[in-house]
Amino acid sequence: MPETWSRVSEKREREKEMEKKKISPRVEDQTRDYLSKHFSTINAGAEYVLDGFPMLYNRALHEIKGRFTEEELSFLVEAFKDTKLGAQLAGQQLRIYCDDAMTFKKLDEKWHLERESLLQKIREMPSFQTACLEIWARRHWLRKWSKGEKAMRDYVSALL
């Protein structure tokens, strides 16, 4: 009998861990319209999108893995250093920030890149992968331990 109580207790612990946390995201009208047209309720759609995104994001990064050199990835991370991501431009910001980083900051020279080669790789990526790479590049600067060259090398090595 004690074993049975132990199993019940373990089951309750697992259920407690799996409970969904309440958040209150604000969305634009077009997002609300999309969710209401494609799901039974707006909340059901929001839960699906928010719960599914981490898996899709990780899969997109896995698909990108090996496509860029260490220098190219380091360039991308540095190009996103002082930026803010905007949902309306998701999947489009990478080209914009890369062009600005090359034109105004000369980061392509710093990282010894061939401008057109990198831009071609970016143009060939599907927009979802591009959006995930934008998030990945920006994420480095949101981490508390993102200081120094070694931290950047460690970070970019995950996509080599």
pLDDT tops 80 at residue 12: no
Domain boundary among 64, 83, 117: 64
For residue 104, being part of any structural domain is answered with yes
Residues 60 and 71 in one domain: no
Residue-range definition of the domain harbouring residue 51: 26-64
Residues 37 and 71 in one domain: no
Residues 81 and 48 in one domain: no
Residues 52 and 71 in one domain: no
Residues 58 and 109 in one domain: no
Contact criterion met (CB below 8 Å) for 146 and 140: yes
Residues 94 and 112 in one domain: yes
Name the H helices within the chain: 2-18, 29-38, 42-64, 70-79, 93-103, 107-110, 115-124, 127-142, 148-157
- The reported pLDDT for the residue numbered 3 is 59
Residue matched to tokens 């893995």 = 65
pLDDT tops 80 at residue 9: no
Residues 59 and 76 in one domain: no
pTM here is: 0.85
Give pLDDT tens digits for 102-139.
999 999 999 999 999 999 999 999 999 999 999 999 99
Residues 93 and 152 in one domain: yes
For residue 113, being part of any structural domain is answered with yes
Contact criterion met (CB below 8 Å) for 64 and 125: yes
Nearest to 64 by CA among 34, 29, 94, 20: 94
Q: Vertex 63, ends 131 and 134: CA angle to 5°?
A: 20
Domain count, the chain: 2
